[in-house]
Amino acid sequence: MSKRQLAMVMDLNKCIGCQTCTVACKTQWTNRNGREYMYWNNVETYPGTGYPKKWMDLGGGFDAAGDLQEGIIPNIEADYGVPWDYSYDSLATFDYTAGNEKAGLRPTSEPTWGPNWDEDEGTGNFPSDNYFFYIPRICNHCTNPGCLSACPRDAIFKRDQDGVVLVDLDRCQGYRYCIAGCPYKKIYFNPKISKSEKCILCFPRIEQGLPPACAQQCVGRIRFVGFLDDEESQVHKLVHKYKVALPLRSDYGTQPNVYYVPPTEAPAKFDAEGKVIEGSQRVPTEELEALFGKDVHTAIKILKDEKEKRAKTGESELMDLLIAYHHSDMFRLDNNYYQEFAKESGKSLLAPIDERYSSGKNTKEITHFKVHA
Ligand code: SF4
Ligand code: SF4
């Protein structure tokens, strides 16, 4: 367990599935060098197949006795999908006359599977009881990481200063036990360098007091970032004070540090005549319980009560938090905290506080880690 723990809260009532977070992450970290198929941040439609395919059935994590469970390593081609490109070069010479449609902008290989293949499909019968919602997913920077426990090389470490979980790429030998051990399948194999790689919680940004790119760019303003022990932080208030933000599949035993405000705002169901069934629940609470545990019932009640209170009295700190007026409130990151570590060790204030990730031969050329004089 680390001395302090950074956490992220995501309000699922506000996610619009725009994938801006996904693109922010991909362009920053995973658009080349064997990482093309990886989505350190992905947003999947629930119910749905997920990414990688059926990740919830692939094992890993811990049983009730604390023993690491066996897991399956997904197949890159079949379970994640190989990214395809488009024939942009052909556009310059494309003949736009009728009957020639097939020659235009085409995938360069036949797409067979990919993230969000079943986006927005959901389940149920339209319009009476169909539903879906989005679940954005990053590495949970778990307190008890399955990936770390599974690694025989001690290549995965959890930073003491903030609980960020990273891979020391020089130690990693590409055995992939970590991928089997992570029940969220949020660590990926890079076939180009034969190493495992994962979300780094944008630690070079965090150390400068900036939120991760996915959170900064989020169009729905669904993401809050801060230290769990900081009582003034909105993550602390949503997780500990109001208890409306819950971890995903905490039954996996890894103690995740990404929390979700469950979706409560779906419309009621319709009967055969198209009339509203008062009091009906379009998103089944059993499904939410399976995802977020039994505490989801209390969380939903608190959310509904506070919404009602706000409507009646105009007052509710919780509703104000969830409206997310200001980035400065949503992201409570303390760069002075990190600078103290830098000063203690006599390092530049711009240098990463822990060099195990950034000094490896596979990462030191990344410009984000270069300290300019
Ligand atoms: S989500 Fe998976 S990869 Fe991330 S810390 Fe937890 S076990 Fe490791
Ligand atoms: S940017 Fe925000 S609203 Fe858009 S998909 Fe990502 S988490 Fe959801």
* Digitized pLDDT (tens) for each residue of the chain, 373 residues in all: 789 999 999 999 999 999 999 999 999 999 989 999 999 999 999 999 999 999 999 999 999 999 999 999 999 999 999 888 888 887 777 776 666 666 677 888 888 999 999 999 999 999 999 999 999 999 999 999 999 999 999 999 999 999 999 999 999 999 999 999 999 999 999 999 999 999 999 999 999 999 999 999 999 999 999 999 999 999 999 999 999 999 999 999 999 999 999 999 888 999 989 899 998 999 999 999 999 999 999 999 999 999 999 999 999 999 999 999 999 999 999 888 888 887 887 777 777 877 778 777 777 666 666 554 4
Measured from the CA of 187, which atom of ligand 1 is nearest?
Answer: 3
CA 14–ligand 2 middle distance (angstroms): 8
Measured from the CA of 145, which atom of ligand 1 is nearest?
Answer: 7
Nearest CA to ligand 2 atom 8: 15
Q: Ligand 1: list residues with CB < 6 Å.
A: 139-142, 145-147, 165, 182, 184, 186-187, 198, 254
> Which CATH number does 6-81+115-335 carry?
3.30.70.20
pLDDT of residue 160: 94
The whole-model pTM stands at: 0.94
Pocket test for ligand 1, best of 8, 143, 179, 184 (most atoms within 8 A of CB): 184
Domain extents in the chain: 6-81+115-335, 82-114
Nearest CA to ligand 2 atom 4: 18
What is the number of the ligand closest to the CA of 186?
Answer: 1
CA 24–ligand 2 middle distance (angstroms): 10
pLDDT of residue 98: 64
pLDDT in tens, 103-124: 677 888 888 999 999 999 999 9
Contacting residues for 50 by C-beta, under 8 A, at least 6 apart: 44, 56
pLDDT of residue 366: 63
Residue 109 token pair: 């290989």
15 lines ligand 2 (CB under 6 A): yes
CA 25–ligand 2 middle distance (angstroms): 12
pLDDT of residue 103: 67
pLDDT in tens, 349-364: 777 877 778 777 777 6
Question: Backbone phi, then psi, for 354, in 5-degree steps?
Answer: -135, 120
Strand partners, 226: 7, 332
pLDDT of residue 373: 40
pLDDT of residue 370: 59
pLDDT of residue 346: 77
pLDDT of residue 226: 97
